[in-house]
Chain A
Amino acid sequence: MSISYISEILPSLFQGAGLTLQLFFWTLIGSLPLGIVVSLGLTSKIKPLRWLLDLYVWLMRGTPLLLQLIFVFYGLPLVGIVFQRYDAAIFAFILNYGAYFAEIFRGGLQSIDNGQYESAQVLRLSYWQTIRKIVIPQVVKIVLPSVGNEVINLVKDSSLVYVIGLGDLLRAGNVATSRDVTLVPYILVGAIYLLLVGVCTYVLHKVEQRYSYYQ
């Protein structure tokens, strides 16, 4: 495991890691708000809306993410919806993670005591004021550990994009390994994933601390 070999393949690995990170951030930016909106729908009183969203969650959680990637990239063009590889990956990831987040948030929403809503109502706060100022801040604290799990999963799930031909971190390692017949690239790939997850864990811990100001 020579230093010169490592410095030779690191740039390509970092390039792959760059794509992994981009995918990671865009997925979070899209799927967290999607999860919030869907969870509000899942707890609403409108039955047809609930059925529709239950179907969505069932589909997304009931089929492998790998299969969903394949469907979005190779299947949707058959009905006239064409995505670039990168966009297809982000689209599929947002839909998939949005469903998981929605279920996590639903649990959080249902754990908010009804008295909180009644207090808000007699103080004449509107529905959205109540959601924004009373409910979401409390739900965030409750769901943080579960969301953290998903966030860490996402770092590693992003490696699935190889199936539609995108060059992420793991694929960069794959290429180097099969070319040079050595496991060194894989060791480096593992180390980079560990580093990324380490950073995520640290940030999540800090966020959890920030919300520990009450009980």
Chain B
Amino acid sequence: MLEIKNLKKSFGSRVILDNVNVTIKDQEVLSIVGPSGAGKTTLLRCITGLEQADSGEFTIDGKSFDPNATDTSESVIGVVFQDFNLFPHLSVMDNIILAPTMVLKQSKQVATADAKKLLDQLGLIGKGDLYPYQLSGGQKQRVAIARALAMKPKILCYDEPTSALDPNLRKEVERLISGLKQDGMTQLVVTHDMDFARNIADDILEVSSLDKLNQTAD
């Protein structure tokens, strides 16, 4: 379980997040919804360590952790970016095994075997030798998911997972997220699409305006 208490973040004098509390239970999906500019991406960036929170407590399974720390041995958060941010010069396989071999010091064989399993699981059998530019948007997203999962994170975060895709792929993303949930993955999904959020989430956190944050059970 990930718990965030009293998270604060401002840019200059502009307060973006004020005393935000977030709880994500194990093997559940939490959606953070709200109009653009409400601060949901900033919240995600604080959780993923891409932005330094001004203050706030982060605990995972009761132990505190610092999202900005880079030297921890455990991966807490995995991220699937809105534009996926795959590495264009690396094949799908190399995109996935780069961090496990360089950071977790896995051998290439072990990392490759793990990556193959992930590719199978995500319906990307035989795509390992392709380069990102040869993939469709949906395939790129699944590679990004595989790349994040290869680091064995406790929580997988998505930033607007439907916005860079064809609208008719929305159902597919929903199935993907539910599939991972069934495999036991805890997930955090930032989206502006309320229907999508209702379909996937166990819990919804509405970031409507600054000081009105309600986490409601669905």
Separation in Å of the A128 CB from the closest CB of chain B?
10
Separation in Å of the B131 CB from the closest CB of chain A?
5
Q: In the complex, are the beta carbons of B133 and A122 less than 8 A apart?
A: no
**Which residues of A lie under 8 Å from residue B99 when comparing CB positions?**
123-125
**19 new A-B pairs (CB below 8 Å) besides A121-B70, A122-B77?**
A115-B85, A118-B81, A119-B79, A119-B86, A119-B87, A121-B49, A121-B50, A122-B48, A122-B49, A122-B78, A122-B79, A123-B148, A125-B102, A126-B70, A133-B102, A141-B89, A213-B131, A215-B131, A215-B133
**Which residues of A lie under 8 Å from residue B79 when comparing CB positions?**
119, 122
Chain B interface residue bracket vs A:
20 to 34
B88, CB-defined interface residue at 8 Å: yes
Contact digits for B75-116, partner A, Cβ 8 Å, 1 yes 0 no: 101110101011111000000001100110000000000000
Task: Contacts A119-B81, A138-B89, A141-B89 given; indicate if A124 touches B133 (C-beta within 8 A).
Answer: no
Residue from the list B78, B81, B102, B131 in contact with A115, Cβ < 8 A = B81
Separation in Å of the B78 CB from the closest CB of chain A?
7
Residue from the list A119, A121, A129, A141 in contact with B102, Cβ < 8 A = A129
Contacting B at CB under 8 A, from A92-135, are 113, 115-116, 118-119, 121-126, 129, 133-134
- Which of chain B's residues has its CB closest to A134's CB? B87
**Which residues of B lie under 8 Å from residue A122 when comparing CB positions?**
48-50, 77-79, 148
**Which residues of B lie under 8 Å from residue A125 when comparing CB positions?**
98-99, 102-103
**Which residues of A lie under 8 Å from residue B151 when comparing CB positions?**
123-124
- Residues of A whose CB lies within 8 Å of any CB of B are 113, 115-116, 118-119, 121-126, 129, 133-134, 137-138, 141, 213-215
B8, CB-defined interface residue at 8 Å: no
**Which residues of A lie under 8 Å from residue B77 when comparing CB positions?**
122
Counting from the closest, the 3 A-B pairs by CB-CB distance are A123-B99, A115-B85, A119-B85
Task: Contacts A126-B70, A129-B102 given; indicate if A214 touches B85 (C-beta within 8 A).
Answer: no
B147, CB-defined interface residue at 8 Å: yes
Q: What's the dominant secondary structure at chain B's contact region? A: loop
- Alpha-carbon separation in the docked complex, A116 to B86 (Å): 7
- Alpha-carbon separation in the docked complex, A11 to B187 (Å): 74
Separation in Å of the B180 CB from the closest CB of chain A?
17
- Which of chain A's residues has its CB closest to B83's CB? A115
Separation in Å of the B45 CB from the closest CB of chain A?
9
Q: In the complex, are the beta carbons of B103 and A123 less than 8 A apart?
A: yes
Task: Contacts A121-B49, A122-B77 given; indicate if A116 touches B70 (C-beta within 8 A).
Answer: no
Task: Contacts A125-B99, A214-B131 given; indicate if A118 touches B50 (C-beta within 8 A).
Answer: yes
- Alpha-carbon separation in the docked complex, A133 to B48 (Å): 22
Contact digits for B130-154, partner A, Cβ 8 Å, 1 yes 0 no: 0111000000000000011001000
**Which residues of A lie under 8 Å from residue B132 when comparing CB positions?**
214
- Alpha-carbon separation in the docked complex, A115 to B87 (Å): 10
